[in-house]
Amino acid sequence: MTLKAWVQKGRELGASDVHLEAGTVPVVRVRGELVRIGEPLPAAYLEQVSQSLLSAEAWEIFAARGSADISTAVGGMRCRINVYRTIRGLVIAVRLLSPAVSGLRACNLHPDLRRLVDATTGLIVVCGPTGSGKSTTLAALIEEVNTSHARNVITLESPLEYVFANRRSFIRQREIPTHSPSFEQAIVDALRENPDVLVIGEMRTPEVIRLTLNAAETGHLVLATLHSATCIEALSRICMSFPAEIQGSIRAQLADCLVGVICQRLDFLEAYQVRVPRCEVLQASIAAKGTIRSGQLSQIANVIQAGGEDGMWTFDRYQRWMEQKKDWVRATPTATVAEEGASVAVGARESLSNVGVPKPVVPKAPVTKRPPTAPATATAPRSEASAGEAPIEITVDEDLDLAELAKQVERRSS
């Protein structure tokens, strides 16, 4: 099987990831669990696939470093791919991305989150464990900006995952290290490129966090992701990344520029057969800013609990909203289109609230025909609900008008 076939197989199974390792059976991650598929793969096959994915320059970097990140379309599906070496040989880890970038509703997120991107300056942090859908939520927020505001958006990602089309906003996407050697250099450069919105794929180092806070303080709206399990942990990680002697000033800087924090997990809804994010949301209210500035981060949970009217959500409160919601949406890939030698995903969205509900029958407009000059046999029109039943045959006499014909059809149908 080709890599394209493995990706398509994973998509058919509803997987989020595909893992291929030399000498090991392929596995896919479905609903968070690993599932074995196929037979063990030969090392030569993985070597060939890896070389086809990486350019000559990227292959040299991979040979020296032992791993490489790329993003590309495989079989019409956008994928984030990591190639790395283990004791058994090469491994290819493929993250299957959504076929199209959509807004909050299409990603099954609460519509109140849109209030965050209405801000013109400050910092929005999207956090959660690995594989919790942070990149998808970040893309949904960018698309909300794209459809509602005329802004200059610069994204810094490693690798570049979702590809955006300019709508009301202009989105310039830069990949690290393809378009800039590092996040640090890219952030410094971006501040001279007249951005309204700056998107940072991940805050990994203290220097990136420092530059991110500075960008949020200097009149830009900054969106960034971070690995953490709760909003408290996200704020603590930001502050604890710096030496103890300057953490007080960092907390003050964070309190001044923070817009909000979204922390999410993925839950599987058995009734709808879809995984949806369950979120904890912190809004930068006066109480939240004061708690951060004073260093009492353990009290953030109480701030969120009491901040329902300010648009804050605990995990439990968000779950109660999820239990009331019925119109969940899932992505359904419908077709692939070849464009300039590359496959581009074409996605469609299907409302789960309508699954299993029959489509309404639309009556056909009556067609007026001349009465036949000789006796003839006509078949009464059938609706979709009567499909499969025997046709109703009636005899039409020469002098029978259309009104009488309609009455006869009605009597036969009853």
**pLDDT per position as a tens digit, 159-200:** 888 889 999 999 999 998 889 999 999 999 999 999 999 999
CA distances from 74 to 39, 94, 153, 321 (A): 21, 10, 27, 36
- Integer Cα distance of 97 and 102 in angstroms: 12
What phi and psi, each to the nearest 5 degrees, are found at residue 399? -95, 15
Taking residue 76's Cβ as centre, other Cβ atoms within 10 Å add up to: 21
Is the model's pLDDT at 378 over the cut of 60?
no
Is residue 213 within 8 A of residue 253, CB to CB? The reply is yes
First-residue to last-residue Cα distance in the chain: 58
Is the model's pLDDT at 386 over the cut of 60?
no
Q: How confident is the model at residue 368 (pLDDT cuts 50, 70, 90)?
A: very low
What phi and psi, each to the nearest 5 degrees, are found at residue 224? -145, 160
Is the model's pLDDT at 372 over the cut of 60?
no
Q: Which helix (H) or strand (E) holds 189?
A: helix 183-190
Is the model's pLDDT at 338 over the cut of 60?
no
Whole-structure pTM value: 0.73
Is the model's pLDDT at 350 over the cut of 60?
no
Q: How confident is the model at residue 340 (pLDDT cuts 50, 70, 90)?
A: very low
Buried b vs exposed e over 177-210: b needs ≥16 C-beta within 10 Å?
A: eeebeebeebbeebbeeebbbbbbbbbeeeebbb
**pLDDT per position as a tens digit, 238-256:** 999 999 999 999 999 999 9
- Give the residue among 326, 315, 271 at the shortest CA–CA distance from 108: 326
Domains (range + CATH), the chain: 3-96 (3.30.450.90), 111-331 (3.40.50.300), 376-413 (no CATH)
**pLDDT per position as a tens digit, 296-329:** 999 999 999 999 998 999 999 999 999 999 889 8
Buried b vs exposed e over 250-275: b needs ≥16 C-beta within 10 Å?
A: bbebbbbbbbbbbbbbbbeeeebebb
Is residue 98 within 8 A of residue 76, CB to CB? The reply is no
Helix, strand, coil tally for the chain in percent (to 5): 35, 30, 35
